[in-house]
A = this chain, B = another copy of it.
Amino acid sequence: MQITRAGEYGVLGMMYLARRDDGAARKTAMIDEVSRAEKVPKSFLAKIFQNLARAGLVKSVRGAGGGFVLAKTPTEITVLEIVEAIEGKITFQRCKQDKPDCKHIGGCALCGLFEQAQGGLTDVLTRTTLDDLIKRQERIDTTHDHSAGRLSNSQKDAIVR
């Protein structure tokens, strides 16, 4: 019962994109840049962003000067969307999966409970947008900010060049 690394890297990557274009226009960021900034394996991240692009959460721009941009504003993207774009739809119960082969199917109390439990989870992830997430992050960064592991502005500059 854990989120996969792919899912986590994906959210991290999206956060980077969102935080990158502060203020104004949305600019593309290359996989290489995101990968270094978030300390995540580059080719793995590339695969993950393919999923995000297919799901319509980011737009990919090929060729020199290309990269990825958010396809929508951070307020319009929920964390659940991101995770499900990468890991596939969240379903606790096997019976709600592609291949329902359970003998209990039909009248199973567990099924209802799991649905409810899953709801408790997805509610939180649906209510939280990418924007909420970066605001949380900013709050963390500013309060007990410097030297606290998180990338400082100078480091950020070094990465962005």
Contact = CB atoms under 8 A, between A and B. Distances in A.
A94 B120 CA distance: 21
Number of copies: 2
A105 interface: yes
Q: Is the interface on chain A under 10, 10 to 19, 20 to 34, or 35 or more residues?
A: 35 or more
Contact of A121 (B8, B12, B93, B117): B117
Q: Is the interface of A mostly helix, strand, loop or mixed?
A: helix
Contact of A92 (B2, B12, B140): B2
A114 interface: yes
A156 interface: no
A91 interface: yes
A90 interface: yes
A128 B149 contact: no
Nearest to A83: B1
